[in-house]
Structure 1
Amino acid sequence: MSTAASAPRRFVVSGGASGIGLAVARLALARGARTVLLDHDASRLQTSAQALGDAALPLVCDVTDSQAVTAAMNHAVHWLGGLDALVNSAGVDSLKPLEQTGDDEWARTLAVNLTGPMLTCRAAMPHLRAAGGGSIVNISSGAGLRPLPNRTAYCATKAAVIMFGKALSIEAAPDGIRVNAVCPGAIDTPLFRSSYEHAEDPQGALEEIRQRYALGRVAAPEEVAEAVLYLSGPGASYITGTALAVDGGRTFH
């Protein structure tokens, strides 16, 4: 089934147990899709999938493990009966100055935020091609467009995800596969909350974050999910290689 002809009905979402990934899965299901959730957190994944119902399949998968990703993708596509859309939402933060960033943390940030999307995209490509085309949406960040202090590893990986998708969009275009990125700003997810909850003054830190945004607020994951579903669907059939900022205006404010 080509997404050029109809809305995507068969989704694979990495990082699907919480945050933006879970919101994407929930919205896709509400619009009639079937969805496979990939996540390394088995307990949270099972809880989220149970809440979503029988149209969602949870698969425990470490997106940094090439063999595990290939096996999970093949399992997912068999269960779905094909693949129309891949959404890469798995990610980790790294909040510290470069000189305090150890080799292991740098490597882990690159592995999850950059190698992970590469592995899932590589595993999904044959299945999207077999479906006659489809969509890949990589969740980058506003930090991939406009940097933040004390986040060299995070900003570097999120900027790389954008360029990775642009390059892949050229390769994939002849097969009718579109590749785009969504760049969220401050979104109320466990990952975002971890960036200020341990500060000496959490409320003050949160207010400082809000002031970076023209809209002056933190968004809900569902607001990003709407953008992802748009880019995944037929309404975006002529959009590929783009990076859509869903960031309340931070990247220009």
Structure 2
Amino acid sequence: MSPELSALTAVVTGGASGIGAAIAAKLQSMGANISVLDLNPADLPEGQLGFVCNVADDASVKAAIEGTVAAFGGVDILINNAGIGAQGTVEDNDDAEWTRVWDINVVGMVRVSRAALPHLRKSSAAAIVNTCSIAATAGLPQRALYSATKGAVLSLTQAMAADHLREGVRVNAVNPGTADTPWISRLMDSAPDPVAERAALNARQPHGRLVAADEVAGAVAYLASPLSGSTTGISIAVDGGMQALRLRPAGQ
């Protein structure tokens, strides 16, 4: 076990599955105490402590953070990973759906950060990492609502970094490309031709495949580590080159 995060406590929202579970496992392997905040924190790996938490409910968030502090003595690292997807153009989702997704993907991060900040300020290694998306920096079809929320997360990350730097709290984000997660798997399974849909999503990323959850976790671990003490207010793309590269078609 690496001592890099030894004696630090990390809170991971949405940490029971997908990218969140990979992040929790990575930080745990680096020595951190892990508190998983999730709607269903069941069957967690040994050593991880789970709290039932709905990031859309402020009381639920406050109770989970206070439970974490009671169990571990504080909070040093916050990973704002919980979020939901949305499909469609601006015509395809009504006001209620815009409100629901925004409340979880954006205001949810606000609620958890707000509850954790009093404890983070007491840490000598305080860090927040927000899970953003390639959808914040590239126009993707049929993702208007989702992209709007992730664009807000990117701007929120920069604003939080400015607000809390002199309090000793670093704030950064990761921007995954299309990742191999349960939500993406469900989207592919519901497509008229799941095999063709997977091939199209693979081909959209220059390295030719979906992003692995463990690859996102590696970037999060870098940003969360005290060894990155001069890194704040940035976003790291984990997207196989989708945002930055313009390759010629294969074989040309």
> What SS does structure 2 have at the residue aligned with 1:136?
strand
1:132, CA displacement in angstroms? 3.3
Gaps of 5+ in 1: 1-5
1:226 aligns with 2:214: no
Aligned residue for 1:46?
42
Aligned residue for 1:56?
48
d(CA) in 2 for partners of 1:20 and 1:197? 19
d(CA) in 2 for partners of 1:236 and 1:225? 15
Aligned residue for 2:121?
129
2:125–2:226 Cα contact (<8 Å) kept:
no
1:90 aligns with 2:82: yes
Letter in 1 for 2:209: R
2:176–2:211 Cα contact (<8 Å) kept:
no
Letter in 2 for 1:250: M
1:154 aligns with 2:153: no
2:74–2:119 Cα contact (<8 Å) kept:
yes
In the TM superposition, what are the counterparts of 1:159-198 in structure 2 within 5 Å?
Answer: 159-198=151-190
For each residue in 1:196-228, what CA deviation from the matched residue of structure 2 results, as whole angstroms up to 9, or x when unmatched? Answer: 221101111111111111101112211110100
1:133–1:175 Cα contact (<8 Å) kept:
no
TM-score (norm 2): 0.92
> What SS does structure 1 have at the residue aligned with 2:42?
helix
Structure 1 consecutive aligned stretches of length 4 or more whose deviation exceeds 3 Å: none
In the TM superposition, what are the counterparts of 1:13-52 in structure 2 within 5 Å?
Answer: 13-40=12-39, 42=40, 45-47=41-43, 49=44, 52=45
Aligned residue for 1:201?
193
1:13–1:37 Cα contact (<8 Å) kept:
yes
Letter in 2 for 1:221: A
Aligned residue for 2:101?
109
1:210 aligns with 2:208: no
Aligned residue for 1:236?
228
1:95–1:195 Cα contact (<8 Å) kept:
no
Gaps of 5+ in 2: 247-252
Mean Cα deviation higher: 97-106 or 61-70 = 97-106
Mean Cα deviation higher: 237-246 or 204-213 = 204-213
TM-score (norm 1): 0.92
For each residue in 1:90-147, what CA deviation from the matched residue of structure 2 results, as whole angstroms up to 9, or x when unmatched? Answer: 1111012221212222111101110111111111111000123400000000111112
Letter in 1 for 2:86: S
For each residue in 1:148-195, what CA deviation from the matched residue of structure 2 results, as whole angstroms up to 9, or x when unmatched? Answer: 111111000001001101001111101110000000012111122223
1:183–1:244 Cα contact (<8 Å) kept:
yes
Count of aligned residue pairs for this structure pair: 241
> What SS does structure 2 have at the residue aligned with 1:183?
strand
**Superposition RMSD on alpha carbons, in Å?**
1.2
d(CA) in 1 for partners of 2:217 and 2:92? 34
Aligned residue for 2:249?
none
Aligned residue for 1:100?
92
